[in-house]
Structure 1
C-alpha cells in the first residue's frame, strides 16, 4: 500500500499554528542586516567589525590576545588572522606585557588609534541611523527590552547538544 503524496493544500493544513511571534527570526534578521550595514560602512576605511572591536578594546586597557578574543567573541584562529591583518596594516602590534613577561599584549599604534576613533564614529552612526528609524518611545522601549533580555533571561547560552554548533561561552 502506497501513501498518497501530500498536496500543497494538505501540507498547509498540517502546518502547526504559531502561538508566539518568531523572536528568533526577528532578532536574527535585524542582526544580520545591521552587521551587513556595519561591514559596508567600516570597509570604506579598510576595517572589518572584528578589527574595529580589537582596536577599541585594546585601547581601553592593556589586554592579551586571549582577552581580546573573549571580548570580541572570536575563536583563536579568527583572532590570529585579525591581529595579523592589523599588524600588516600598521594599526597594532604584539608586545610583551608590562605586568606579565610571559604574556603578549596587543598594542595599538598611533595610526590605529586614529582609525579606531574614526571607526567608532562610523559604528555609532550605523547604530544611530537604525535607532532613529523608530519613534523615540519605541526606540527607548526596544533598548530597554533588549537590555533586560541580555542581562536576564538570555544572558547565558544553553549548552548545545553534542555534535551541534554552539556559541562560545563568555568568561565575563
Structure 2
C-alpha cells in the first residue's frame, strides 16, 4: 500500500508563521486594491500621493518608501500625471533633482484614498476584540521594528509576489 504525501510530511512543531503572514498580507492587499480601484487608484499610486504630500521627495525617495523598482515607479508617476494628480518638477532644494508634486486634485484624491485605506484596515481589525487588537498591533510593530525589520542578505533574492493586472 502506498503512503500518501501528507502522511510522509514532517510533523509541525511550530505554527506556520510564513503562511499566516503571507496569506493575511495577500488578502489585505487584494481588498485594498479593490477598494482603491473604485476611485481609479492603485495601491502604488496611493502610496506615492500620500508620501509626496508629506514633504518634498524625489522619485527615487518615493520608490524606496513604496518598495518599487525604477520602472514601476516611472509607470506609476506617469499614470498619476496622466490623471492630473501629480507632476514632476525641479526641486526647490536642488535644481538638478526632480520631485513629485501633488496637484490640488491629487491632494483631494489622496484624502479620499487615505479614508479608504483606513476603512479597509478598520474592517480587517474589526474581527478582533479591541483588547486583542491593541496587543496584535503592538506585537506586529515589535516584530517589524526588531527581528523582521531588515530582510536577510541572500545570494538568490526572494521575489515579492506580483499583483495580477486586470
TM interval, short-chain normalised:
over 0.9
For structure 1, the 5+ residue unaligned runs are 1-5, 168-172
How far did 1:137 drift?
1.6
Q: TM-score, normalised by structure 1?
A: 0.89
Matches of 2:38 and 2:86 in 1, distance apart? 19
Match of 2:23 in 1: 29
Runs of 4+ deviating beyond 6 Å: none
Matches of 2:3 and 2:131 in 1, distance apart? 42
Match of 1:130 in 2: 124
Q: Provide the secondary structure at the position in 2 that maps to 1:8.
A: coil
Instruction: Work out whether 1:114 is the aligned partner of 2:121.
Output: no
Instruction: Work out whether 1:43 is the aligned partner of 2:37.
Output: yes
Q: Which has the larger radius of gyration?
A: 1
Residues 8-52 of structure 1 show CA distances to partners (whole Å, capped at 9, x for unaligned) of 34x333211110000000000000000000000000000000000
Q: Provide the secondary structure at the position in 1 that maps to 2:45.
A: helix
Instruction: Work out whether 1:78 is the aligned partner of 2:76.
Output: no
Q: How many residue pairs were aligned?
A: 160
Match of 1:54 in 2: 48
**Residue of structure 2 aligned with 1:98, choices 87, 92, 110:** 92
Q: TM-score, normalised by structure 2?
A: 0.92
Aligned-CA RMSD value? 1.3
For structure 2, the 5+ residue unaligned runs are 161-166
Match of 2:8 in 1: 14
